[in-house]
Amino acid sequence: MTLQLSEFSRQIGAALVAVNAADSLVTQAAAVLDLFESHSAELVDGFSIQAGWAPFMLVERGEGRFDVAAPDFATKTPEHVGWVTDLTLALWVLNGQVTVARAVPDAAARPIHFSDSVLCYRGIEGAERLVMSRTSRRDAPDDSGWYVDVFPQPDQQRDPAEFVRWPAYQTLGINKHIARALALPEGYGAIVSESRIDAIIELEGNTVAVRGPL
């Protein structure tokens, strides 16, 4: 996301903590600062707090001054994920996950870790609409239970070679709205288009739980 960044900072005890993000995310930036303020006695370089699917970490930039960093979701190799101090994308995803989870008040959110794997049909790249579902099936230790396919799904049987496991954060490069639905619990799914989530689906009975846009 290439938006004008602003610095949102707060004095927390002896530490000055800053969040760098787009102006539109001022509320979300304040929420992250609130998290660190609740751990005011632990603010040192490298201290991190998990929020949703990803951690936020303090990076010292001078004595008593810290930037908040998030994982670099542009990293291609999951084993070497770096950190960035532009929190625009991290806060946008987190806010989206909270928004989508709140749309289904009777279902408790179940965030995954940003590096957990998602089973994807290779044909989802470039597709206008996608369908995703989360089940209790686990085929790998880091399996999130999520499966993403094109919508509507084709009737013909497909070769297993047409499916691949990607770290969840890499779905941001395919359709960023996939990530917004990943906090939904097992038994739910979503229909996603290029610019929004069109619907949240309850898998039992294949019914629409919430109509978008979200």
Give the residue numbers spanning the domain of 128. Answer: 105-211
Q: 85 and 124, same structural domain? A: no
Same domain, 182 and 135: yes
pLDDT of 170 = 96
Do 57 and 89 fall into the same domain? yes
Quickly tell me which residue has 């880091």 as its tokens. 142
Please say which residue of 95, 120, 137 terminates a domain. Answer: 95
Place of tokens 């691949």: 164
Closest CA to 91 of 178, 25, 171: 25
pTM (two decimals):
0.92
Q: What percent of the chain has pLDDT over 70?
A: 99
Specify if 100 maps to a domain: no
When the pLDDT of each residue in the chain is averaged and rounded to a whole number, the result is 94
41-50, 67-76, 151-160, 191-200: segment of lowest average pLDDT: 151-160
* Residue 209 in tokens: 């739980």
Q: What is the pLDDT of residues 86-124, one digit of tens each?
A: 999 999 999 999 999 999 988 889 999 999 999 999 999
What is the per-residue pLDDT for 2? 56
Q: Is the pLDDT assigned to residue 1 strictly greater than 50?
A: no
What's the confidence (pLDDT) of residue 141? Answer: 86
Question: Domains in the chain: how many in total?
Answer: 2
Residues 111 and 91 grouped into a single domain? no
Q: Does 111 lie in the same domain as 207?
A: yes
Nearest alpha-carbon partner for 166 in 193, 197, 144: 144
pLDDT of residue 152: 92
**Residues linked to residue 199 through DSSP beta bridges, in sequence order:** 191, 211
What pLDDT score does 33 carry?
98
Q: Are 170 and 158 in contact (CB under 8 A)?
A: no
Residue spans of alpha helices (H) in 88-132: 88-102
Residue 76 burial by CB count (10 A; 0-12/13-18/19+): exposed, middle or buried? exposed
81 within some domain? yes
The SS3 of residue 61 is strand
